Amino acid sequence: MPLDPNTWTLKTQEAIGAAQQAARERANPEVTPDHVLGALLRQSEGVVLPLIRRMGLDPVSVRNAADEAVAALPQSHGGETRVGRDFTQLLDAADTLRKDLTDEYLSTEHLLLALVDADQKRSGGSRRLGEVDRDQVLAALQEVRGSQRVTSQNPE
């Protein structure tokens, strides 16, 4: 992976680990952003669920859609699960957003923002988070965390 996990919050580490585990359990040949979204939406604590709710989305519906997307992925029995190109791009985009927000650690909200940005660039197919755009996520983030920055591995 292009980034140092030591610069990720604990919730980000948990989400990435859960995404990798989900891909392995489903025999998917690579970890994708849909695995990450599903993992984020399974975190009972943290900032993602409050953000999803503030944007007027139903977390269970969004998680179910992510699960359906994962279920439609190819399977490869006997091989190693690898990091996919889209997954790597998601992490790179999230790290850029981290820097833009002047945060010290890569947090789950950066992953969510990167997922929304990737959604807006998708051609064909449905968007992971409906019609939600970056401005809506940033507005919800402002309501949830205010002007606080992510300055530790455990800000949530």
In this predicted model, what pLDDT tens digit does every residue of 117-131 receive, in sequence order?
A: 988 776 555 677 777
Domain boundaries, the chain: 5-145
pLDDT greater than 70 at residue 1? no
Measured at the CA of 2, the angle between CA 86 and CA 132, to 5 degrees, comes to: 40
Model confidence over 52-103: pLDDT tens digits? 999 999 999 999 999 999 999 999 887 788 988 999 999 999 999 999 999 9
Options 3.40.1350.10, 3.30.450.20, 2.160.10.10, 1.10.1780.10; CATH of 5-145: 1.10.1780.10
Q: How far is CA 140 from CA 52, 70, 145, in A?
A: 8, 27, 9
How far apart CA 40 and CA 94 sit, in angstroms, is 14
Spatial distance between the Cα atoms of 51 and 21, rounded to a whole number of angstroms: 24
* Integer Cα distance of 95 and 45 in angstroms: 22
Calculate mean pLDDT across residues 13-39.
95
pLDDT of the residue at 152? 77
Residue predicted with more confidence, 24 or 121: 24
Tell me the C-alpha distance between 89 and 95, whole Å. Answer: 10
* 149 dihedral zone (left: phi>0; alpha: psi -120 to 50; beta): beta
The set of residues, in sequence order, having a beta carbon less than 8 Å from that of 32 and lying 6+ positions away, is 23, 69, 70, 73, 84, 86, 87
Q: Both tokens of residue 2?
A: 């292009």
Flag whether pLDDT at 156 surpasses 70.
no
- Band of residue 38 on the pLDDT scale cut at 50, 70, 90: very high
- Indicate yes or no: pTM above 0.85: yes
The CA distance from 27 to 95, in Å, is 28
Q: What is the three-state SS of 52-121? A: HHHCCCCHHHHHHHHHHHHHCCCCCCCCCCEECHHHHHHHHHHHHHHHHCCCCCECHHHHHHHHHHHHHH
